[in-house]
A and B are shown apart, each in its own frame.
Chain A
Amino acid sequence: MSNRFAPEHIEEAQDWLRERLSAKQPFALRGANSRFHPQTEAGATDPDRLSTAQLTRTNFFDPEDMVVGVESGMTVASLQTLLAEKSMVLPVNPWFADSAIGSAFACNDIGPNRLNMGGFRDCVIGIEYLNGAGERVHAGGKVVKNVSGYDLCRMLIGSLGGLGVITALNFKVLPQPVAPHGLYGRFPDSTWLQNLAELHSARVPVDWVQALSAGETGRTDWLLGIGFSGNAARRQRIETEIRQIFGAGLQLLADGEPHSEWPFLPGTDRFTGWLPGLRKFWNLPAQHLHLMVLLTTKEALNPMHLEAVRTDQTRIAAHPIGGDLHFFLDAEAAAAQREFIESLKPLLRRAQAKLVLGNAAPEISYADLGEFARPPGYSLVQRLKRHLDPAGVFHAPFYDLL
């Protein structure tokens, strides 16, 4: 049984890290403990855990300058609530609302508005972290433009706890979207992708697009939502263009208005993630498989990819504009999950896709993802890990892939 330490102050985390460094004792990082943490091989277990869950202070929030700095254990939802008090928003909508912001950052979570509003790379301006020597390091700052020295902030995006302990983050934030609305509709098959490709080609400035496969076994239809915002004239123009391409059958709703078939509309959820609502909508078991598929927009707009994946057991959330698909398998058995992953591989290879595990049976590991877990330049990534963590204390299986 591994030990868990959740310091209230960064100094305590630093002392704890130094003890591990002197003993060369690896430990795993956790935020709010909301995430699945794959191992390198099936059966491997986590060592001791350092949790940032109690590091939840606000370091500064300057609405006039549109910047905020918080400790890394603050949840995404709490951060968005803080910003909303001043009608501002962090324009990244990671999927896991209850994740610590440091965890969402270290996992480089994104959401349906990646192409239009950006990801963590587009809004991080400063960072504090504990490095592989136990030192407290600061990089970046509180201003929205900064090229003074190397960008250690961005280096730690997606670092999965392997390059340091992120203790605080500073972000550039934005005013909340003006009068956000969405058009929602049901489509009998994935031909909506052709309409979406047309919309993309027409350069209609939508805020987000999300399509969900139907929740009932045996059905092959889709729920599509397209979000946009702005003053009335702007919204009217966008709505007209969308309807011209998709037909008149879409229902217009302001954020927060209810929809008979879509139980978890945007509004607050739009910037804190839809995942809890999706899991409920699809009635997914606790150890379901959730694969995040990263690919290009062009590949994501190919209907063949979605059709090839659909079975009675699969559920899909698609954000094709920006190349982000989420495949869910309504099965808890590791064997079924492995079989599903294997069945995807030829498709993924053709599409040059990459995979990230959002959830799975405990027996599912990085080994099951194979080449699809490794980014371009992976050998360099591995060498960098050894360089920055010479004692090997930051347990992060992602860096040990063959």
Chain B
Amino acid sequence: MPFANPIRQELVRICGKEWVKDDPITLYAYRSDGLTLYTAPPLGVVYPGNTDELVRVVKLFHRELISFLPRGAGTGLSGGAVPREGSAILEMARFKEIHEVDLVNRTITLGPGVVNLRISEHVKPQGYHFVPDPSSQKACTIGGNVSENSGGPHTLKYGVTVNHVLGLEVVLPDGEVVELGGKHHNQPGPDLLGLMIGSEGTFGVVTKIICRLTPNPEKAVTLLGVFDSVRGACDAVSGIIRNGTIPAAMELIDKTVIRAVEAALKPGFPQDAEAVLIVELEDLQDGIEEDAELVERMLQKSGAQDVKRAKDEAERARIWRARKESFGAIGQISPSYYVQDGVIPRSKLPEVIDQIEAIGQKYNLTVANVFHAGDGNLHPLILFDYEDEEQVENTHKVGEEILQVCMGYGGTLSGEHGIGLEKRKLMGELYSETDLANMQTLRAFFNPDGRLNPSKIFPTPSRCAEAKHSPQAIPSESSPVGAGHARDLPADELDRSKLVARKSGIAV
């Protein structure tokens, strides 16, 4: 259902005709993010060009009781940018201006639509980079990173997005513009900046971001430990950390993924290995060899059959390309896959990896592993055939059981993908009712009518309702929406979306 005519006309007056879209192709394109299991067409898509236009659009939506959500590049993997309840989408792609680079303060001020990798490319000539480097960094935007508090391989040493953002300009759901933080590293009072980051687009729409810049390392040494068991590689992770060394990154890839990336990208990983552990050290040139030799010895002591070292920058780039594009490479060996994101205490890696394998075997599904081993941040890839209904069903069961194991070991549901639609029903198992109610109190403060990105993060009674409801409609889940604007999502439409998503071969 497109925008009602009066609304459409006003949106066009604010943004211009070409920046208001509600044609079927646009609605189809924006029906999901990177997790295509959850799909729903938006009411329409608006592309504001600046904060002033965005504020006017938000005020219009507020006045007309239209639910809405911001969207970056749509690479999210938790369904956080799916327009539930017939929400309109605020596409932030036009906010791609880099306003200022300030090398003394080591900051860059930019719009939320700037692609993550573009930030580091922009300041590379000056010798700086932006640390958070999610695998999707060629496409994902900094606005999305802020929304999800994204990480990446190099967050082991340097931290995630919240550790690299100093200031935000945010438009609240009623159109009020607030500034949080700035170029200062500290401000008096509670850290609302830290609270806003990772709120998954449910508190406000970020329109400007001040990011920290980090000096490029003078030298990086990339080691590849080759292991005959995943458990051995996990043991090496703990050994290195126990020794007091904090590498910039420690990434584990198992044999299934090794096979896939070798077929797709040929990084030169040994195909008979059960696992490889990428360990990267970054520092001054002076002294790094000593640290690298220490890590090499630790890898060998932990049972590595071989320890290779990237000879030059080209070889290092090949290794990292293989790691960052490993999800996509899975397409070489499986019609589809479902990527999970859970976190456990790092020392529990060997036990948990064994349990994950057992869960896969129980359901006769292959679970591949490629993950941020240093952080204990797992990304099990559940391989399945989208044509096989039983496999699809079992895939969900495997994913859920893996997360149960993570929680059982004192871990958590997500390290960097967010909760979104995907994991909200498990939030009640991670947190008590009191804990969740307190989070919802925060949502009620920033987003009192619940019209900004509804139905995300929190479990709702609708989970039961979905099962019990008539097949005609899935009910609205949060506050009432405006008459004639938002609507319930017909269940048959959801089913068709799922089918299309499956056929697309993307992560379902």
Residues of A within 8 A of B (CB): 62-67, 87, 108, 110, 114-115, 118-119, 121-122, 131, 135-139, 141-160, 162-163, 174-176, 178, 197, 200-201, 203, 205, 230-238, 294-298, 301, 322-324, 352, 354-356, 373-381, 383-384, 387-388, 398
Contacts and interface: CB of A to CB of B under 8 A. Distances in A.
A235 B377 CA distance: 33
Interface in B118-155: 127, 148-149, 151, 155
B347 A65 contact: yes
Nearest to B423: A148
A67 B345 contact: yes
Given A147-B419, A151-B149, A323-B105, 10 more contacts: A121-B191, A143-B345, A143-B376, A144-B343, A144-B375, A155-B194, A155-B442, A174-B246, A298-B104, A323-B184
Nearest to B444: A387
6 contacts: A64-B345, A65-B345, A114-B185, A146-B414, A234-B287, A356-B188
B434 interface: yes
B205 to A, nearest CB: 15
B286 A203 contact: no
B460 to A, nearest CB: 14
Interface in B159-188: 159-160, 162-163, 167, 178-188
B306 interface: no
Contacts of B287: 230-235, 237
A151 B188 contact: no
Q: Which 9 A-B pairs have the closest CB atoms?
A: A154-B194, A234-B287, A237-B286, A175-B244, A145-B415, A233-B287, A203-B215, A375-B187, A64-B347
A160 B188 CA distance: 9
Contacts of A122: 159, 163
Interface residues of B, number: 86
A141 B434 contact: no
B191 A108 contact: yes
B432 A157 contact: no
Given A150-B199, A158-B188, A158-B190, A141 B439 contact: no
B160 A137 contact: no
Most chain B CB within 10 A, of A67, A152, A296, is at A296
A145 B190 contact: no
A236 B285 CA distance: 12
A119 B149 CA distance: 17
A145 B151 contact: yes
Interface string B403-435: 000000011111111110001000100111011
A66 B241 contact: yes
A174 B242 CA distance: 10
Contacts of B442: 150, 152, 155
Contact of A376 (B106, B179, B410): B179
A231 B291 contact: yes
Contacts of B413: 148
Interface of B: 102-106, 127, 148-149, 151, 155, 159-160, 162-163, 167, 178-192, 194-195, 197-199, 215, 238, 241-242, 244-246, 283-291, 343-347, 372, 375-377, 410-419, 423, 427, 430-432, 434-436, 438-439, 441-445, 457
Most chain A CB within 10 A, of B183, B186, B238, is at B186
Contacts, number: 256
Contacts of A322: 185
B163 A138 contact: no
Contacts of B285: 237
Nearest to A381: B189
B184 A118 contact: no
A375 B345 contact: no
Nearest to A354: B188
Most chain A CB within 10 A, of B194, B195, B245, B410, is at B194
A135 B427 contact: no
Nearest to B166: A296
A197 B415 contact: no
Contacts of A154: 162, 191, 194-195, 197
A141 B419 contact: no
Nearest to A236: B286
A151 B195 contact: yes
A108 B195 CA distance: 15
A147 B438 contact: no
Contacts of B242: 63-64
B191 A155 contact: yes
Contact of B181 (A176, A232, A324, A376): A376
Contacts of A205: 215, 283-284
A136 B434 contact: yes
B345 A62 contact: yes
Given A147-B414, A152-B438, A384 B445 contact: yes
A66 B182 CA distance: 30
A197 B105 CA distance: 11
Nearest to A110: B186
A137 to B, nearest CB: 5
Contact of A380 (B155, B192, B423, B436): B192
A234 B244 contact: no
Contacts of B441: 387-388
Contact of A157 (B194, B244, B346, B372): B194
Nearest to B202: A150
Contacts of B431: 138-139, 148-149
A87 B244 contact: yes
Contacts of A238: 284
B377 A145 contact: yes
Contact of A145 (B246, B416, B423): B416
Contacts of B155: 145
Contact of B457 (A108, A110, A149): A149
A374 B434 contact: no
Contacts of B412: 141, 143, 146, 148
Contacts of A175: 244-246
A168 B416 CA distance: 24
Contact of A301 (B104, B163, B415): B104
Most chain B CB within 10 A, of A162, A205, A297, A324, is at A297
Nearest to A240: B286
A135 B215 CA distance: 44
A388 B437 CA distance: 12
Given A121-B162, A152-B438, A294 B345 contact: no
Contacts of A354: 184, 187-188
Most chain A CB within 10 A, of B159, B190, B413, is at B190
Contacts of A151: 149, 162, 194-195, 197-199
